[in-house]
Amino acid sequence: MLHIPGRLAVVICLAALCLGGPATLRAEAPSAPRPLTGPEIIFLGQSLLAQGRLDEAETLYKALLHSGHELDFRLEAAFQLGQIHLARGQYRQAALYFNDILNLRPDLPRVRLELARAYFLDRSYQDAAFQFELVKGGDLPPEVQAKVDAFLEAIRRQKDWTVSFYLNPVADSNLNQASGGREECLDVIGLTLCRPLEEKVKGYGLAAGTQVDYFKRLSPDWGLKSSLGFSALEYERNTYDDYSLFLALGPRRIWESGEASLQPTFRQRWVSGQEYSRETGLRLEARQILGRLVLDGGGSYGRLSYAEGFIDDLLRGPVWGWNMRPRYILNDRTYIQTGLDFYREEARSKVYANDNWRYALGVYRAFPYGFGLYLEGNLTQTNYKAENWFVTRDHRIEVNRRMDETRGLQATLTSNLWEKYNLTPTLNYAYANRRSNIWSREYQRHRLSLIFEFKY
């Protein structure tokens, strides 16, 4: 093959790309350079890279990226531009190029692997871990899979700070979880006595919050994990305003394929501008990675007290539970997740003490144009421990032990279109339909949130 000097090759190539072919020729012009083909441009760029001439290769690939060549060649140009930025240590810019490719072709595991690596080098560990976990579902050679596992372990060991902030408007169709019934009536000695039931309250609000985690490393495998969280939810009516402060500090252990932490916890909650409850307790969190299977789980124990004396006399008591969240990576675009939770709430008045079982099944899928969709169906069964009297639909008093069943649906749509600002917009819809043997405790609820999350 004819060797063309580097700078002359770039000039010839760019001229061919810009002109797209020979213009009207003067009679004395013996010939004009023909447009280079896509493979020739790629080969020329690789030659420049092999010689360490990054600036010239970048100019060449940018011209190809914005040319009229076939998509495959333009995607290859974007990939090479990402590699150039990685070589320069410009990791965030490299991630933008790899994201652009996946927005058009989300089924390219090699590109997703490079995206994960760019996030890792940029110390964006949360994003890197998510992409590395998806990559595990691709058809990668065993040695590459081993490197992915090594990266995931390095993330667990190197991540010191995790900081996130979110802001989201909220629309809620049933803030007070009202049944929708107009009144509750009781027949007494030939008379029907009725009292109005609480009407559904719709509302629009604004939620904001932050979560900060810090890991103080004491040895290669051990350290202290501290957590600070604050959330605020404001509605038009301050009756439903809800603020919460969370603190935790405790040991964390890391091993080759997982981690675990045990933290004493403190939570303070304010409702309607007034102190509502306080909880002190202990929580356990753990993760184990087994190939494509990611096992998340944990447990918690707490003691709740309430600021209002009357409520405290009824509800004060310990709460505890555990959860499991297995996630299986089907391929480099899809995972399925199941959930099994148990939660027990004790109370001084046994009619309010209850057990909750929650079952969930969800699926995540990465789509073109930078969108990701998570769909989940869930079922919660709540059984109260003691009988109480209730008014029935046919105006009688009945003693019964309350049992609820809540069916839920959640849809979460994410986008990486604002990736360059470290901002992730998320649209979340949640639906809940509670059925109960106590008709006045039934309700339906729709909730829509547009979340803007900033993390680093």
Q: Is 404 within 8 Å of 441 (Cβ atoms)? A: yes
Q: What is the CA radius of gyration of the chain?
A: 29
- What amino acid is encoded at 11 in this protein? V
Reported pTM: 0.86
Q: Is 6 within 8 Å of 51 (Cβ atoms)? A: yes
Q: Mapping DSSP to helix (H, G, I), strand (E, B) and coil, where does residue 137 land? A: coil
Other C-beta atoms lying within 10 Å of the C-beta of residue 168: 20
Q: End-to-end CA distance of the chain, in Å?
A: 49
Max CA separation in the chain (angstroms):
117
What are φ and ψ of residue 256, in 5° steps? Answer: -55, -40
Q: How far apart are CA 328 and CA 314, in angstroms?
A: 42
Q: How far apart are CA 365 and CA 383, in angstroms?
A: 35
Tell me whether the CATH fold assigned to 6-22+32-158 matches the one assigned to 161-455: no
329: which residues sit within 8 A by CB, 6+ positions away?
133, 134, 136, 137, 292, 293, 294, 335
Distances, alpha carbon 146 to alpha carbons 128, 135, 291, 297, 326, in Å: 16, 12, 10, 24, 21
Q: How far apart are CA 126 and CA 119, in angstroms?
A: 9
- What amino acid is encoded at 440 in this protein? S
What are φ and ψ of residue 11, in 5° steps? Answer: -60, -45
Name the nearest CA neighbour of 333 among 102, 167, 118.
102
Q: How far does Cα 247 stand from its chain's mean position?
A: 22
Q: How far apart are CA 258 and CA 156, in angstroms?
A: 8
**The Cα angle at residue 449 between residues 443 and 450, in degrees rounded to 5:** 170
DSSP-assigned letters across all residues of 413-455? EEE-TTGGGTEEEEEEEEEEEEEESSGGG-EEEEEEEEEEEEE
pLDDT in tens, the chain (456 residues): 333 344 444 444 444 444 344 433 344 455 556 777 878 888 888 888 889 899 999 999 999 988 888 899 999 999 999 999 999 999 999 999 999 999 999 999 999 999 999 999 999 898 999 999 999 988 888 899 899 999 999 999 888 888 899 999 999 999 999 988 888 888 888 888 898 988 999 999 999 999 999 999 999 899 999 999 999 999 987 889 999 999 999 999 999 999 999 999 999 999 998 999 999 999 999 999 999 999 999 999 999 999 999 999 999 999 999 999 999 999 999 999 999 999 999 999 999 999 999 999 999 999 999 999 999 999 999 999 999 999 988 888 899 999 999 999 999 999 988 888 888 899 999 999 999 999 999 999 999 999 998 876
Q: Encoding tokens for residue 444? A: 């339906």
Q: Encoding tokens for residue 281? A: 């307790």
Q: How far apart are CA 327 and CA 295, in angstroms?
A: 6
Q: How far apart are CA 243 and CA 248, in angstroms?
A: 17
- pLDDT given at position 406: 98
Name the nearest CA neighbour of 60 among 94, 9, 1, 19.
9
What element of type H or E holds 223? strand 222-235
Q: Encoding tokens for residue 424? A: 């992730």
Place of tokens 């990791």: 91
What are φ and ψ of residue 101, in 5° steps? Answer: -65, -45
Give the chain's length. Answer: 456
What element of type H or E holds 215? strand 203-217
Q: How far apart are CA 217 and CA 159, in angstroms?
A: 10
What element of type H or E holds 194? strand 191-196
Name the nearest CA neighbour of 115 among 138, 147, 83, 150.
83
β-partners of residue 226 are 214, 249
Assign domain 161-455 to its CATH superfamily.
Answer: Outer membrane protein transport protein (OMPP1/FadL/TodX) (2.40.160.60)
- pLDDT given at position 32: 59
Name the nearest CA neighbour of 173 among 391, 403, 431.
431
Which letter, b or e, does each residue of 303-313 get, where b requires 16 or more Cβ atoms within 10 Å of its Cβ?
ebebeeeeeee
Which letter, b or e, does each residue of 72-81 get, where b requires 16 or more Cβ atoms within 10 Å of its Cβ?
ebbbbbbbbb
Domain boundaries, the chain: 6-22+32-158, 161-455
The highest-level CATH class for domain 6-22+32-158 is: mainly alpha
Q: Encoding tokens for residue 119? A: 């996030």
